[in-house]
Amino acid sequence: MARIRSSGNLTTEQRLASLLRDAGLAGWRRHFRVAGRPDFAWRSVKVAVFVDGCFWHGHGHDCGRNLSPRTNVEAWAEKIRRTKERDRKATQRLRQAGWTVVRVWECQLAKDPKRCLDRIRGALPDASDPRSRSLSLLTL
Ligand SMILES: [Zn+2]
């Protein structure tokens, strides 16, 4: 069962990985072992990026991808509710530990990849800024 979930996420993650490479954003690691196992993490500057599948993570009603299942509605709703709760706690724990957390919805990445990329870039310190270099040295 776990395979179904991770393979469902994989293409979206791979898509973001190639977007990051194309944008020249390097240095991230996949599934770094901190709260929530972020899909992408820049450890030295403490930036974590999650790509959330719209169905599993319960995206809102205006999201076209969050199709309601026709059977076992309550079981699905409970599962999704727990996933959302886990997401919320992971974000909270990371922020308390000084991380910047960016969550990207699967549908946003498909519709407007540039905007998603801008959000991630905005969370990362500017490499040309000397202050960010000293920041990353301090936290290494
Ligand atoms: Zn969505």
How many angstroms is it from 72 CA to the middle of ligand 1?
A: 21
Domain that holds residue 20: 2-139
Q: How far apart are CA 97 and CA 105, in angstroms?
A: 23
How many angstroms is it from 32 CA to the middle of ligand 1?
A: 24
Tens digit of pLDDT per residue, the chain (140 long)? 444 444 445 588 999 999 999 999 989 999 999 999 999 999 999 999 999 999 899 998 778 776 677 788 899 899 999 999 999 999 999 999 999 999 999 999 999 999 999 999 999 987 555 555 444 444 43
How many angstroms is it from 1 CA to the middle of ligand 1?
A: 22
How many angstroms is it from 61 CA to the middle of ligand 1?
A: 9
Q: With 0.85 as the threshold, say if the pTM is over it.
A: no
Q: How far apart are CA 86 and CA 25, in angstroms?
A: 28
| Per-residue burial over 40-75, b = 16 or more CB atoms within 10 Å of its CB, e = otherwise | bbbbebbbbbbbbbbbbbbbeeeeeebeeeeeeeee
| Structural domain total, the chain | 1
CATH number at 39 reads 3.40.960.10
